[in-house]
Structure 1
Amino acid sequence: MILENQNIITQIFKNVDLDTIAVNLINQGMERIEVKKGEILIDVNQVVIDQYYVHSGCLRSYFTDTVGKEHTLMFAINDWWISDYTAYFTKAPAIVTIECLQDAVIYKLPKEKLDNLYENIPSLESFFRKKMEGAFASFQKRILGNISLSARERYHSFITTYPTIEKTVKNYHIASYLGITTESLSRIRKEIAKG
């Protein structure tokens, strides 16, 4: 199991030069979890102290508005990180739900342990800063796309960002991510199929 974890850790942090001591420290800080389809990883109003690395499977984060409509914020697949980052960074209650869409193997990393790892392995702080910068840029691009792109263009962006997800998640999850109805999604797919 230790050897498997070491291989996973070097895979997760593939751009970080880690010696054996660093790998062992990370191994002590992360926990492997198997999540079943339909399980809720984070729920609204929950205290959030962890972020999660997705090794396999698919999760989604979504916000439920005051009339009960779900708005999918993101999907997380292999080699993605996910959490309710607003709650994680501000210590406020969770505002999104994270649901498992496919059986998943994930690695949990508590904030307290991550802060300790930053002190002992400074290169990890740079790794996570770059991840957060990329995520922030992606979210801003997505917001601007939702404001300025047509539904068809948003769909094209979705299948570019998540090329393997479309056949594994429900249509209403995709429609929710795009901010359209499932009927509009079907129409867009038919138009694209016709050429």
Structure 2
Amino acid sequence: MAINNLMKADDSKAKKLFKDLSFSSDEIDIIESVFHKVSLKKGDIILETNNVVNYQYYTLEGCLRSYYLDLQGKEHTVQFAIKDWWISDYTAFFSDSKSIMNIEVIQDATVYRLCKKDKEELYAKIPKVESFFRKKLERAFAAFQKRILSNISQTATDRYTNFIEAYPNIEKSVKNYHIASYLGITNESLSRIRREMSNK
């Protein structure tokens, strides 16, 4: 491979997005053509409920969250997306149904956006990318199942401990009520848990 191709590989979207994979120059060109870099500002809403979900997003920097709004208007945070995390309304994205989630930017962010049509073409042209996403989805499914079980069986303190292990340093970027809604507890309960942990 020529030196300019090596430099291209080192500085490509492909290297950022698929750290454990290696690509030819032609494959890098394909990846570059379908992932679009987008700058987002805190407070931006990139998805609202009852919309068509065309994209999934890779967070290069910053922080986003997906949340469900119940009939009483209460927010339930489902996921945070920090550096190197993917986010979308996956139920709608994979089933071609309308969105049930909202996605909000809670810290200025830079993301790579990938549409469903381009993703399918990417799978066909670069099969190892399909394998990469399959493994990501398997891990995500396992993590969501583990979270459901923790909500059923663990104390709020244990859930908070698991949260800060999964999202280290995120508390500097998000509001307390975001964390509380993710854990399924009140702000007051979150404050109490933190006090108890700091006193140990």
TM-score range, shorter chain: over 0.9
Q: 1:6–1:23: 8 Å Cα contact kept in structure 2? A: no
Indicate the residue corresponding to 1:81 in structure 2: 86
> In the alignment, what sits opposite 2:5?
none
Letter paired with 2:100: I
2:53 to 45, 48, 54: 48
2:21 aligns to what? 16
CA–CA distance in structure 2, aligned partners of residues 28 and 8 of structure 1: 10
Sequence identity percentage? 53
Relative to the length of structure 2, the TM-score reads 0.94
Q: Is the 8 A contact 2:66 2:77 kept in 1?
A: yes
1:141 is matched with 146
Shift of 1:9: 2.1
* CA displacement at 1:49 relative to structure 2: 1.2
Please list, as runs of the form range in 1=range in 2, the aligned pairs for 1:83-162 lying within 5 A after superposition.
Answer: 83-162=88-167
Q: Secondary structure at the match of 2:66?
A: strand
- Please list the CA deviations of residues 127-180 of structure 1 after superposition, one character each: whole Å capped at 9, or x if unmatched: 000010010000000000000000000000000000110121000000000000
Q: Distance in 2 between matches of 1:5 and 1:115?
A: 25
**Which runs of 5 or more residues in structure 1 are unaligned?**
none
Q: Does 1:61 align with 2:41?
A: no
Aligned length, in residue pairs? 194
RMSD of Structure 2 on Structure 1 (CA): 1.5
Superposed displacement of residue 26, structure 1: 0.7
Tell me, which stretches of 5 or more residues in structure 2 are unaligned? Answer: 1-7
SS at match of 2:146: helix
* Aligned-pair CA distance for 1:8: 3.0
CA distance in 2, matches of 1:175, 1:4: 41
Is residue 78–residue 182 contact of structure 2 (8 Å, CA) maintained in 1?
yes
Provide the C-alpha distance between the structure 1 equivalents of 2:27 and 2:189, rounded to a whole number of angstroms.
50
Return the alpha-carbon distance in structure 2 between the equivalents of residues 133 and 4 of structure 1.
27
Write the deviation string for residues 27-62 of structure 1: whole angstroms up to 9, x where unpaired: 101110001000001110110011100000000000
Post-superposition Cα deviations, 1:60-103, rounded to whole Å, max 9, x if no partner, equal 00001110000000100000000000010001000000000000
Cα separation, 1, equivalents of 2:103 and 2:9: 27
1:184 counterpart (179, 189, 193): 189
**Secondary structure of 2:170 counterpart:** coil
CA deviations 1:104-142 (Å, max 9, x no partner) are 000000110010011110100000000100100000000
- Residue number among 27, 31, 35 corresponding to 1:26 in the alignment: 31
Please report how far the alpha carbon of residue 6 of structure 1 lies from its aligned counterpart in structure 2 after TM superposition: 4.6
